């Protein structure tokens, strides 16, 4: 059984192939409440390219302070949004935000790091385990 069972996320078979994620959400109204049309679309989140990795790391390093959970979740959404830009144009940030939650955000971030070549799969699993035990999150 996959760790993503029932979440609408599937690891694609080939190394560096990406993650197949079913993005789900409702179009937000003028108050950012998800009350509009329901959207469900499957998209492949590809590996980050070198330029995307450099930009993300520079933004995280410029922050300097210990990262909060809110910042970590925002970083995951930003990472997914930038990766999606490789294959798709115009995927709204709200759709990513409505799909990703605290329960799967760290795992998805680690999977993207793994498929992007930032860490070996074993290291990604070990880092995810340490994150779930309360060790502060540090972006690589």
Largest Cα–Cα separation, the chain: 44
Q: Exposed e or buried b for every residue in 2-29, given b needs 16+ CB within 10 A?
A: eebeebebbbeeeeeebbebebebeebe
Give the model's pLDDT for residue 130.
Answer: 41
The structure's pTM equals 0.70
Contact 23, 96 (CB under 8 A): yes
The ranges assigned to domains in the chain are 9-132
Give the residue, 125 or 10, on which the prediction is more confident.
10
Beta strands in the chain (DSSP E): 9-11, 19-28, 34-45
Average pLDDT over residues 99-122: 79
């Amino acid at each position: 059984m996959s760790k993503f069972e029932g979440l609408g996320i599937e690891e694609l078979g080939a190394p560096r192939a990406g993650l197949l994620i079913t993005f789900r959400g409702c179009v937000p109204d003028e108050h950012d409440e998800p009350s509009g049309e329901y959207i469900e679309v499957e998209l492949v989140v590809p590996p980050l390219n070198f330029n995307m990795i450099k930009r993300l790391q520079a933004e995280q390093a410029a922050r300097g302070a210990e990262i909060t959970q809110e910042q970590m979740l925002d970083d995951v959404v930003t990472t997914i949004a930038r990766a999606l830009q490789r294959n798709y144009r115009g995927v709204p940030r709200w759709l990513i935000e409505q799909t990703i939650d605290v329960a799967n955000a760290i795992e998805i971030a680690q999977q993207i790091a793994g498929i992007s070549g930032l860490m070996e799969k074993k290291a990604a699993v070990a880092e995810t385990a340490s994150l779930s035990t309360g060790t502060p999150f540090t972006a690589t």
